[in-house]
Amino acid sequence: MAIIDIIAKQNAEQWLSSKAIDQKTKDIIKDLMEKNIEEFNESFYRHLEFGTGGLRGVMGIGTNRMNQYTVAMATQGFVNYIVRSNPSKQIKTVISFDNRNNSKEFALITARVMAANGFKVSLFKELRPTPVLSFAVRHLNCDAGVMVTASHNPKEYNGYKAYWNDGGQLVAPHDDLVIEEVIKIKDYSQVKFQDNDNNITIIDNTFDKIYFDKVIKLSLNPDLIQKHSDIKICYTPLHGTGITMVPKALELFGFKNIHIVREQAIVDGNFPTCKSPNPEERSAMELGLNLAKKIDADVLLATDPDADRVGIAVKDQLGNFVLLNGNQTATLLTYYILKQLKKQGKIKENNYTIKTIVTSELIRKVSESFGVKNYDVFTGFKFIADRILSLEGKEKYICGGEESYGFSIGDFVRDKDAISSCCLIAEICAWAKEQGKTIFEILLDIYLEYGFYKEDLLSIVIKGKSGAEEIQNMMRTFRENPPKSLIGLDIVMIKDYQKQITKDIKTRVEEKLDFPKSNVLQFFLEDGSKISVRPSGTEPKIKFYFGVFNKLNSIKEFPELSKQADDKINAIIKEFGLKIN
């Protein structure tokens, strides 16, 4: 029989005794205590954490749930930090929301808390994607922004992403300092809240044109699009915000033959047609793949609920639809953009691209082949935005991406942007068509020119206190006794981001690694392959990123070489002694 957790009971009693908590909520709490102790404990055993990326959790009643009270309290903490950072100033913020259940209500609560604190708040009238919110922060000269979304999490979740005045998500020192302020809000009575919409300005769909005008200017081959405007594009928004922007953006780019997966075009926070609204997962793409096969599409595009990430499917050499991973999509986009800019004589000495440290090294090789510098940043698109900010006025950002299906072109959006990415992917499709090729064949051309890189990710979950200790021990072992070789290949370099050093194994020379401290290790093999090891900061999980390299001599070799790459990754996993869950 389940026993009521002491901390959970204390947290619940604080809500039950508070005059600020409504009676309906109190009745639900009492009912949980009597009839569902396990759910009660889970709902109240702690306070929902405001992490470095913002707020995210399961919706429901309780201190550990996303609800009107936890959203308001987290917002008050965020507000307090914004005020602290902008003394004696009229503060402006902007808020948007996705299709998830309660997103619109949470957005309004966030707006009313901010307005009650004297902020001038702009609130989108209807759901709009994350990249539009990021763009709006800078365009409206706001001091901060909030996007209510739980990204690609299951339907039970909601959350929000917190943005600073550059349009990027919070980074140091703001992220930790905001968390400090949020922790100080112990009770709902500390929240300033208004029941009206004073100081709140509603943003209607006329704002879309301002954003679309920026996206359209990204086109590098408008004449080519006009010539191949009838390429068959299949698109699914996975029930999310993408339906409000992606089809229109593609039309404005010049594409006329767009087929939408109707079952998934219905805005629905329950995501009835997919277990998880994540374009990384094949199950979410099945309806799109069915339509793409039916109409013999040139490309399938899929965006996640807040339309910041895009997944694609294209036909391989045999005419079968295959899903491309985030590394492949980012490589295609980087190659196409730089190739066109080079052709047009628009590449300058101060141009640069960005990738995260766990993203394919092929992007660096492609960038440098066009005389463009490539920067590495930590995992997470907020670090790409931060690098853009640090180089503003000195160097010019072209594009950047990460392995987890995020990409951005140009600096008017400071977060992942699936809308502009969809448009450029469609343009690549038209460019391929002009050459009598498919997107997949363009990718093979890249592999022929630069070598074949194949990536994979292994996440190992080890729950409980012992699990956390085991993960720490794994990192300690890798750090203190690193392997000298893997699958018969020497390790030639190790990057230790916690010690902030790069070590050349052959010369034993150590150099300073110009990165903040982070518990990440990378091993580079003599053939150009790379293994990255990174424990999660919020979950009992450790991630292994594998990127292996082989020379591709002819297109005919590709199927066999791809199989060899898989075997290579599996052999490395085995040699690391990893257990696959």
End-to-end Cα, the chain, rounded Å: 30
User: Nearest to residue 183, comparing CAs of 295, 47, 91?
Assistant: 47
Kindly state the helix (H) or strand (E) to which residue 82 belongs, with its residue range.
helix 68-85
Spatial distance between the Cα atoms of 426 and 232, rounded to a whole number of angstroms: 9
- Taking the CA atoms of 67, 73, 76 and 77 in sequence, report the sign of the dihedral they define: negative
CB atoms within 10 A of CB 375: 19
Q: Considering the candidates 96, 103, 122, 151, report the single residue annotated as catalytic.
A: 151
User: Nearest to residue 284, comparing CAs of 321, 311, 320, 247?
Assistant: 311
Spatial distance between the Cα atoms of 78 and 75, rounded to a whole number of angstroms: 5
How does 7-21 read in b/e, with b if 16+ C-beta sit within 10 Å? ebbebbeebeeeeeb
**285 contacts 264 by C-beta, under 8 angstroms:** no
Spatial distance between the Cα atoms of 516 and 380, rounded to a whole number of angstroms: 14
How does 469-490 read in b/e, with b if 16+ C-beta sit within 10 Å? eebeebbeebeeeeeeebbeee
Residue 189 bears catalytic tag: no
Beta bridge partners of 314: 322
Tokens of 427: 């343009």
- Give the single-character DSSP code of 202: E
Positions marked catalytic: 151
